[in-house]
Chains A and B, each alone.
Chain A
Amino acid sequence: MRIRPIAEGDLDELQKIARETGVGFTSLPDNREFLNNKIATTTAAFAQRTPVDRRNYFFVLEDEESGELAGCCAIEGQVGREVPFYHYRLGTLAHSSAQLDLHRTIDTLFLSSDHTGDAEVASLFLRPHYRGKERRHQRNGALLSLMRWLFMAEFRDQFPDKVLAEMRGVFDEHGKSPFWECLGRHFFPMDFAEADRLTGLGQKSFIGELMPRFPIYTPFLSPEARACIGQVHRDTRPALAMLKQEGLRWEGYIDIFDGGPTVEAYIDDVRAVRKSRRCRVEIHDASDTLPPRPRWLAANTVMADFRAAWVSRGPDEEDVLSLSKAEAQRLGVQAGDALRVLDTEEVS
């Protein structure tokens, strides 16, 4: 299993993934033209043909044995540059009067574009038959999630100060978002799925046109809707836990549609960015088998031919990493090349 940039021949496989993701996964709509376009723009990004603030890096997890794509993930170089990027910021307003013996604080949602210009990690999806009990030891989800930090650490000057991740919000047993039903529904003449679909296609201008522009006092929302603020969908909890482990935190920003949290951090503070380091490749003849639960993550240092994968061991004291031939091939490196590695079990 290895990570690589998406390529032109991946369209059919990518569409399979798009079909499996479903509602709530806004960034990958099942739309062939859109996906084809995505491949083209992301190829240009990896080739550094587009300016840094317009780059969308889209990665796939490739099963080399079957040739199948097992999953995907992405990094948006800077959000909000081409289309506006909105959040609600949950803030507190004090309503206080000594004479009236009154002191209350009211939670209030403020429409914000504070994250304009930040990087975003997004679109992480692992196909069902690559997760589950018998696959857990492969750590495919962790590979998809963590390799992005290696990429950002390696090409640090191509990224801004901060990074964020939007997490999917709470939906009830009927697949409805209580937050949307209480708030968005009043302002958007469509259902959640349609709003979500348009957003996924990048057609976001309707949001600014139809959104409530004044802050929303949360006591005016239903208890069910308030309970969604900053909460994630059950299925999203593991992904959130992984981001939190890297140091991303919820700072009060939520999705305007489903109320799900946006977590964020300064890129330089992200654990994997801090802990990853460069080493030099050496190649040995023995064949390697990955340990039952791989620990070391490695990525090459060439953007256009970027590769990342689990490797069977870490570098020695001289920062030399000895790879098997298969591993070197998987990562597209030769003896003497540089490699960025991360010990995923190192305690921070």
Chain B
Amino acid sequence: MLVVRPVRPSDLPALERLAGLAIPSLTNLPAHRTRLEERIAQSQQAFAREVECPGDEHYTFVLEDLERNEVVGTASLRALAGAREAYYTYRQETLIHASQQLNVRHEVQTLALSHEVSGTTQLCALALDPRYRGTHAERLLRRARLMFIAQYPERFAKVLAMAFPGSLDEHGASPFWDSVGRHFFVHDYHEINYLAGVRSKSFIAEVMPQFPLYLALLTPQAREAIGREHPAHEAALAEMLDEGFVRSRHVDLFDGGPIIKADRNLLHSFRHAAWHPVRVCPAHALADADPAMIANQRLADFRCVVARYALTRTGQLTLSPEHAELLDVEEGRAVLAAPLALPPCATRGAGYDRGEL
């Protein structure tokens, strides 16, 4: 059985292991013991804090496989991406240069440094043991955070954002970094990424070029990397587009990776999440049904599992005694459920989100 729950101090070795496994390594999950310890402490404070509006809370969750008695994944929520310092991105912009004299109209693409994403809630720092890739476990880990946000909307921003690692070349180098950031730093992409995780990314952003960059002056490889995700993250990105996220004009400062965003109320899981009273049934008596994410109503003892979405005629959700215990719910208490499957999004490949134009 799999469960997503808030991180505990005893999860430190597991977090360290997961941080080391991420491909490519994640800026916001550095394999650095002190930083991870801080991350855990910060998360515990966030879950314990009374919050009226989102601030610098950083919630970290883990995915535990109870059969193996092992933590096999982690994912985070930054309540406000730019709470302590600005969250910098490059925003893709198009300028029209038109000349009446020559009767020409010329579109010029630029990347402009932006703080705009600072006001969003960021879903970040997801790392999963490779053995679980492509399974329900991965989808649960990624989307359990939405179940948490749905229950505590006052703790989060209305717009959610997610950055995906950018594409790297066959040598593991970032063509985008090599054509942009490298002019300003001696470090290669992996060094700067680690440094950003250990120090702070916005700190580095402030030393990045402040004027917009003309795409025409970047290498063709760098231009191609803009808004393109790392192949290992294609499926994850597609899932979130199905969930209702859209590609934004923003890309990561370091590797040009895509940043997607969504009005949370438009997300599939938000629109289809429903409260149901629990009815506990022996496992062998449960009806067959599609899988769903099921979350309890506890803040610091938040739990989210995958179980069959089987309802009784009177709208009660049937749960096995094991799941009921895991969620710490008794018969008659309500849980939040949302289907795990998502209908494929028709506009997966489409451009930027409509709200920007």
Using CB atoms and an 8 Å cutoff, list the residues of chain A in contact with chain B.
Answer: 95-97, 99-100, 102, 104, 106, 108, 182-183, 186-187, 189-190, 198, 203, 205-206, 209-217, 219-221
Contact (Cβ within 8 A) A205 B206:
no
For B180, the closest partner residue in chain A by CB is: A220
A104 surroundings in chain B (CB, below 8 A): 184-185
For A190, the closest partner residue in chain B by CB is: B102
A198 surroundings in chain B (CB, below 8 A): 102
How many Å from the CB of B98 to the closest CB on chain A? 6
B204 surroundings in chain A (CB, below 8 A): 97, 100
With an 8 A cutoff between CB atoms, is B197 at the interface?
A: no
Contact (Cβ within 8 A) A106 B209:
yes
Mask, B191-207, CB within 8 Å of A = 1, is 00001000100011011
Contact (Cβ within 8 A) B214 A102:
no
How many Å from the CB of A106 to the closest CB on chain B? 7
How many Å from the CB of A321 to the closest CB on chain B? 51
Given contacts A214-B110, A214-B211, A221-B217, contact A100 B195 (CB under 8 A): yes
Choice from B98, B104, B199 contacting A100 with Cβ under 8 Å: B199
For the complex with contacts A219-B183, A220-B218, 5 further pairs of A-B residues with Cβ separation under 8 Å are A106-B209, A186-B214, A186-B216, A205-B101, A213-B95
Query: Interface majority SS on A: helix, strand, loop or mixed?
Result: mixed
Contact (Cβ within 8 A) B99 A97:
no
Q: Can you list 22 pairs linking A and B with CB atoms under 8 Å apart?
A: A95-B207, A95-B209, A97-B203, A97-B206, A99-B199, A100-B203, A186-B108, A186-B217, A187-B97, A187-B106, A189-B104, A198-B102, A205-B100, A206-B99, A206-B102, A210-B97, A212-B214, A213-B95, A214-B211, A217-B209, A217-B213, A220-B217
Contact (Cβ within 8 A) B106 A99:
no
With an 8 A cutoff between CB atoms, is B212 at the interface?
A: yes
Report the separation of the CA atoms of residues A214 and B212 in the bound assembly, to the nearest whole angstrom.
7
B100 surroundings in chain A (CB, below 8 A): 205, 209
B211 surroundings in chain A (CB, below 8 A): 108, 214-215, 217
Contact (Cβ within 8 A) B183 A210:
no
Nearest 5 pairs of A and B residues by beta carbon: A186-B216, A219-B183, A209-B99, A220-B217, A206-B99
Report the separation of the CA atoms of residues A183 and B214 in the bound assembly, to the nearest whole angstrom.
10
In this complex, the member of A104, A108, A209, A216 whose beta carbon has the largest number of chain B beta carbons within 10 angstroms is A209
A214 surroundings in chain B (CB, below 8 A): 110, 211-212, 214
For A110, the closest partner residue in chain B by CB is: B211
Contact (Cβ within 8 A) B184 A210:
no
Report the separation of the CA atoms of residues A104 and B203 in the bound assembly, to the nearest whole angstrom.
16
B95 surroundings in chain A (CB, below 8 A): 213
How many Å from the CB of A105 to the closest CB on chain B? 10
Report the separation of the CA atoms of residues A108 and B211 in the bound assembly, to the nearest whole angstrom.
10
How many Å from the CB of B61 to the closest CB on chain A? 31
Report the separation of the CA atoms of residues A263 and B206 in the bound assembly, to the nearest whole angstrom.
35
Report the separation of the CA atoms of residues A106 and B211 in the bound assembly, to the nearest whole angstrom.
12
Contact (Cβ within 8 A) A106 B110:
no
Contact (Cβ within 8 A) A102 B218:
no
Report the separation of the CA atoms of residues A99 and B199 in the bound assembly, to the nearest whole angstrom.
9
How many Å from the CB of B129 to the closest CB on chain A? 33
In this complex, the member of A106, A108, A215, A217 whose beta carbon has the largest number of chain B beta carbons within 10 angstroms is A217
Report the separation of the CA atoms of residues A183 and B102 in the bound assembly, to the nearest whole angstrom.
19
Contact (Cβ within 8 A) B184 A106:
yes
Given contacts A100-B199, A220-B217, contact A210 B104 (CB under 8 A): yes
Contact (Cβ within 8 A) B106 A210:
yes
Report the separation of the CA atoms of residues A211 and B106 in the bound assembly, to the nearest whole angstrom.
11
Contact (Cβ within 8 A) A187 B209:
no
For A213, the closest partner residue in chain B by CB is: B95
B214 surroundings in chain A (CB, below 8 A): 186, 212, 214, 216, 220
Report the separation of the CA atoms of residues A95 and B184 in the bound assembly, to the nearest whole angstrom.
7
B179 surroundings in chain A (CB, below 8 A): 220
A183 surroundings in chain B (CB, below 8 A): 217
Report the separation of the CA atoms of residues A186 and B215 in the bound assembly, to the nearest whole angstrom.
10
Report the separation of the CA atoms of residues A182 and B217 in the bound assembly, to the nearest whole angstrom.
8
Mask, B46-80, CB within 8 Å of A = 1, is 00000000000000000000000000000000000
A215 surroundings in chain B (CB, below 8 A): 211
How many Å from the CB of B109 to the closest CB on chain A? 10
A97 surroundings in chain B (CB, below 8 A): 203-204, 206-207
Given contacts A100-B195, A214-B110, A214-B211, contact A206 B101 (CB under 8 A): yes
Report the separation of the CA atoms of residues A207 and B183 in the bound assembly, to the nearest whole angstrom.
28
A102 surroundings in chain B (CB, below 8 A): 185-186, 207
Report the separation of the CA atoms of residues A182 and B208 in the bound assembly, to the nearest whole angstrom.
23
Report the separation of the CA atoms of residues A217 and B182 in the bound assembly, to the nearest whole angstrom.
13
